[in-house]
Structure formats: structure tokens, C-alpha cells
Amino acid sequence: MASSTERDADRAAAETAVADSGRLLSTAMILFHTSLSKKVGLGPTDEKVLELVQRHRNVSPRQLAELTGLAKNSITDVLDRLARRGFVTRQPDPADGRKVIVVAADEGIARIATHFAGLMGRLADLNAAFSPEELRVVAEYQRRAAEIQEDEARRLAAD
């Protein structure tokens, strides 16, 4: 049986490994999305706002401002760029015609999707090396870590 000191050292090593791998993944993601954004003629912020539009479907500019922590006028500028390049459309809100919702344009999404094929295939191969339970643990950790990071991003934007 391991001593308390050995368990503490093992936990510290595991936490360091998680922190290190998180930084590696974060940097790799930023570099990938920066390259992807350039490839399709967007800025990195534009591409991530587009991802939020896709994920949340029929989202308002106000909701996007809240989700990103960006000022409403900054979101308007991003949406203008995305609309000019054919990635989103603005439509009347079916629940309240005075308001606008933002919808991802299928043809714009298709232009981006072609660049994800290699990444998604390789990630599918990686996933195959792990059990469903292991994947659920990874997914839960990533989801909770993302919530923390989103909260901290909003805190920084508010300061």
C-alpha cells in the first residue's frame, strides 16, 4: 500500500501532466483554428463566433455577445464580416419579428467542413484506442474545464 506522501506525489504528478497536456492541446487548437481561419478568409474570432452560431442555432446577437464576452458592437462587426463572406445570414426572429436571429449558412459551413476531414478522421482513430468509459471521463473533464475557462473569460472581459 502506498504511503500518504507517495499518493500526494502521484497526484501532484498527475495534475502536472493534465495541466501540461491541457496547454499543449490549447496551443495546438489555437494554431489549427488560426490556420483554418486564414484558409477560409476569416479571423480567429470570426471562426469561433461562427462555431457558436452553429452550436446554438438561431442565436441572437445579444446572446452571442453574452457567450463571447464581446461588446455588442464588436459582435455586430464580426457578424457583418461573416455575412459578407457567406457564412451566416440574419433573419427575423420567428418569436418576435422585431428581433434578429443569426443562422449559419450551409454553403459557408461546407467550405469549412472540408478542412476538418483529416483532423476528424485522425481523432476518430485516436478515440478508438480508448474505452467508452475512458472517453466519457475525458469528455466530462473537458466540458467542466471549458465551463471554468468560459467563466474566467467573462470575468476578464468584465474587468
Closest listed residue to residue 67, CA positions, set 47, 52, 82: 52
- The phi-psi region of residue 152 (left if phi > 0; otherwise alpha if psi is between -120 and 50; otherwise beta) is alpha
Per-10-residue mean pLDDT of the chain, 159 residues long, equals 88 94 94 91 90 92 89 93 95 89 93 92 97 97 93 81
Confirm whether pTM is higher than 0.75. Answer: yes
Cα 139 from chain centroid (whole Å): 14
Alpha helices in the chain (DSSP H): 4-40, 44-56, 61-68, 72-84, 106-113, 117-127, 132-158
The pLDDT value given to residue 28 = 95
**DSSP code, position 126:** H
